[in-house]
Amino acid sequence: MKQITKFFALAILMLAFAASTYAQTASAIATATIVTPIAISKTVDMNFGNIVAGVGGTVVLSPAGIRTPTGVTFLPTQPGTVTAASFNVTGEGTLTYAITLPVANYTITRISGAETMIVNTFTSTPSGAGALASGSQTLTVGATLTVSAAQVPGVYTNAVGFNVTVNYN
């Protein structure tokens, strides 16, 4: 019986060594890529230009800087400075990004006064998303300005500014 026990113990030991000779090992390399953070900087402020007081309506300013009046009057020879807001978006070349425009009303107030006008319905080019083909892209933003019929003449502004947010997709 002792012989059989020794035989089985020796057989089990041999199988254990034999099994370990069939074990295989592989290795993997860990890699991480750090991309350039996305950034946005304003290059031009939005300006609806000159609008004649006393006539209510709206002015739609396209991202291309083109004004379209509804109910308000412009002076064709004195448009004033008309510009869509412009931003420079920079980041990792070839990546795409999402654009978030203001959804709430943005109030501008007459300098040295309390009268206000509302800016809303913001639009952009590109719209919704952009692509950093060479690591940068120009983003332009337009909006709609609501002018009341009794709007007090003057310059209206808001020093706080409105926010445009970009995030990598």
Are 11 and 18 in contact, with CB atoms under 8 Å apart? no
CA 69 – CA 102 distance, rounded (Å): 22
Tokens of 112: 């040295």
pLDDT 10s digits, 4-57: 766 666 666 565 555 556 899 999 999 999 999 999 999 999 999 999 977 889
The alpha carbon of 104 is separated from its chain's Cα centroid by a whole number of angstroms, namely: 16
Are 45 and 83 in contact, with CB atoms under 8 Å apart? yes
Helix or strand holding residue 122 (H, E): strand 116-125
- Name the CATH code of domain 38-168 (choices 3.40.50, 3.30.70, 2.60.40, 2.40.160): 2.60.40
pLDDT 10s digits, 78-129: 899 999 999 999 999 989 999 999 999 999 999 999 999 999 999 999 999 9
Backbone angles phi, psi at 129, to 5 degrees: -150, 155
Q: What is the pLDDT of residue 60?
A: 97
Tokens of 27: 């290795």
pLDDT confidence tier of residue 77, bands split at 50, 70 and 90: confident
